[in-house]
Every structure is written in structure tokens, then in C-alpha cells.
Amino acid sequence: MRMKLDEIARAVDGTLQPATAATLEVTSVAFDSRKLSAGALFVPLQGDRDGHDYLPSAIDHGAVAALWATTRAQSAPADFPVILVADPLTALQQLAQYYLAKINPKVVAVTGSNGKTTTKDLIASIVKTSFNVTKTQDNFNNEIGVPITILAMNSNTEVLVIEMGMDRPGQLHRLSELVTPDIAVITMIGEAHIEFFGTRAKIAEAKLEITDGLQDDGFFVYDGDEPLLANQQLATNPQRFTFGRQGTNDIYPTTITEGDESTRFETNRWQDFEFVLPLIGSYNVNNALAALSVGELLKITPAKMREGLANPALTSNRAEWYEGTQGERILSDVYNSNPTAVTAVLKAFETTKTSGKRIVVLGDMLELGKDAPAMHAELAADFDPEQIAMVFLVGTNMAHLFTALMDRYQPETTLFHYTSTQLPELITTLQQHIAPGDEVLLKGSHGMHLEKVLHALTTPPTTTID
């Protein structure tokens, strides 16, 4: 983005001081004083500490101006341009809404209990074959990340693919009203955040808020196999487009062929036209179908969509293969976790071809509420000792799965349990048991930090020369 300070001040209903800075140009917006670039507008947010305290750091890293809360007006710097606003976060969102209207791209909003990041990446890859695209980076999917993503758009952006996360009712309503999508996508309804919502029905109700800001001629794309989504009364009356496995959907797979590193499938919509997805697991076909649905609505040709699906730029740590230092292959899926996601990835992992043994490392699934112990224990049904040779479990709730697996695995021989503070011990034991040709699955909620295990298994040891 490129915008002068006087335009920004008008967009956020703020007061620029000094007024002589009106023509100063801003080229980016950031809230982390350590990660902004030269020409940035600094947005001081309230976290564990007041973001206003980090202005010196922001200036050191290239900030040319800042938003500034009117409640802190007395402490505003006299020698640095600031825009006085009632609330910096609200002003950030106002600025994003203004810039979005100015660029005026088609907006595709994506949410779901599982698969939203992968689906966002697949949609962006398909759309990129025919349009200039901006997509959400990393996990910038909340009330801070969404406006930052919008403000990072190039002026030539034709389609914005924006991921939306939620952990409380009303959150998606506000985000949808902010971006007013042309297409809203819900990948599926699972158990993620059930601790805060109580039931899947309540989760579905909150997810459906993504349609609240839909354009009058907008489309709602969703899993038609999910009763909690089908035929729901919505605040708007969008056109609907469904994907799923059943023949009643607008698009569904007619064949699926799973491989060790990719999945091939055909659909009812383009018969005898095969798509190749560089991801394992038939569950990822649904994510691809959601992406194809968006491509179809944007009138992208099947050949271009096939090209996009085959070459996506995927966000890291979502079912991604790595090479380990001992000749093993590692499937890392450590960004989030819930029962549906674990069952799906275990099923896919069990079908891979390997010359060695399969090892599974699972961390606690967080935010499951009072049913967490039972949900962890019930995962035992997904384990077959003939396919999975060793199991390593991490976390308080994984102790319940440990107990449930004791009749199939031998504790301290093929079955291990560690607390969240025992990752070094887990890594040591893993390294003792891994052999060339083995395959290792890492899966857990982000708060369990299994990425540290991935780093240890993929980083060569340092050698010291005396």
C-alpha cells in the first residue's frame, strides 16, 4: 500500500499531529515493532504490555508514523508524526476497510474447524493461474491479522483470499462485516474450540457467521454432507454451492487414488479429467473440492485449476514431509489438532509405503473442554500395531490414550508417555529408536510445541573440532 498520512487520518477519523506531516507517505502497516519495515505505520496494540511503550523500537526499525490513542495524548511524541484515534485496533480495522474498498478485489473468505489453511492455500494457487492474488500469510486470521493482510495487498490485487479463525461467538460476524466477502467458504465442522462452545452445533452456528457480511450476489460454499451446515437459515440469502462425497453435492469425487506423497482424484463435474494434489490423505480431497468450487465460481478453466492444485505454496507444518538426519521421513502436522484431524492423518499415514517401521508422536489436543480425557482415549481405535510400530505420547490428556493402548503396545518398549516439559527426553528416546527407512508422524496442538521435536530430528548434530 501507498497512502499519505492525511488520507489515513481521514479514513480512521483521526487527528494528525503535526499537520505539516500530511504529505508523508506510508508504505506498510505493522503492530510488531521488531518486524516492521522502513516506511511503516506503527499500530500500538494493548497486549501484556501497552504497545505505545514500543514506539522507540518501532522508530529504530523504520516507522515513519504511528497511530496513537487519545487517552495517551499527553504522552504523544512532539517530534514524530502520530494520528490520534479513540482506539488503535478499531482504527486499524477502519483503515483496512477503507483500503479494501479502494482496491476493490473479489474477496474469498475461508473458515472451518479443520483444513482452512490448506484450503486457503489451494484456493490461492488455483486463482493465481488467472488473477493477481493476495492471501493470508501464516496465522494472520483474527481481528488483528485480517486487517494486516488486507493492508499488505498490492494495488493490482484482483482476488483476496482471506483466512478467518475464531474461538468465540461473534468473532466471525465482525470479520465478515469487515471484509464483505463475495464468496464465503466453510471447510467442515469439527471439535476445535469445543471447550468454548460446548457442542458441534454451537460451533457450526458460530462458523456460519462468516456469511453475515456476504455481498448481495455472494456465494456460500460448504460441505454439503454436513447436516449442521445444510439448509441453515442465514442472516443473508446467498447462492449456495456444495462439495463433499455424496452425489447430491454440486461437486464430488468419482475416483480417489492415494499415494505416499500425493492424491489423485476425478470429479463428477469434469469427467475423465484427473487432478493431482501434492498432499497425502483422502481427507485433503475435500479441501481441494472446496478450492475447485471457488475456481468454478470465478470461471477459471479446469486445465488452469489442475495446474493450480498441482503446484500450491503451502503453509508450513500442515501435513508436510521432511527428511530426518537418520534417513527417516517425517510427516509434520503440528500446527493444530483435534480428534477428527488426528483420525484422518493417522488413516493416511498407515497407508504409506515404507521399508522401515512407522512411529507416531502425538501431543495433547487442546481446547476440548470437559470431554478431553474421553476424546483422547477414544483415539485408541485408530491404532493398528501391525501398521504403527511405536507410539510416543506427550501431555496430560495423552495419558488417557496411553492407558487405552496398553493392551496393544508394551510400555517403555513400543509405547511411551511424556509430560510437556519432557521434550528433551522424548527426543533422545526417539533418536535411539529411529532407523533409516522409518517414517515418523508428528501431530499435536501448536501449544505442545512439537515443532521442537521436528527441529531436533532434522538438524544435523554439531561437530566440535579440538
Known binding-site residues for ATP equal: 112-118
DSSP state string for 62-131: TEEEEEEEGGGGGG--SSS-EEEES-HHHHHHHHHHHHHHHH--EEEEEE-SSSHHHHHHHHHHHHHTTS
Annotated binding-site positions: 112-118
Cα-based angle 259, 260, 263 (whole degrees, multiple of 5): 35
DSSP state string for 13-37: T-EEESGGGTT-EE-EEES-TTS--
Helix (H) or strand (E) segment spanning residue 276: strand 275-277
Nearest Cα neighbor of 190 from 343, 4, 373, 75 is 343
Which distant-in-sequence residues (6+ apart) come within 8 Å of 412 by Cβ? none
Helix axes 200-207, 171-179, angle to 10 degrees: 20
Strands across the sheet with 390-394, in order?
A: 320-323, 329-333, 439-443, 358-363, 390-394, 415-418
Beta strand pairing call for 253-258 and 263-267? antiparallel
Whether the CB-CB separation of 57 and 34 falls below 8 Å is answered with: yes
Residue recorded with cell 470465478: 298
Output phi, psi for 413, to 5 deg.
Answer: -120, -55
At position 72, the amino acid (one-letter code) is R
**What are 61's three cell numbers?**
526499525
Beta strand pairing call for 106-111 and 183-186? parallel
- Give the three-state DSSP class for 236: coil
- Give the three-state DSSP class for 272: coil
Please list the residues that pair with 133 across neighbouring strands.
159
SS (H, E, C) 420-438: CCCHHHHHHHHHHHCCCCC
Whether the CB-CB separation of 41 and 31 falls below 8 Å is answered with: no
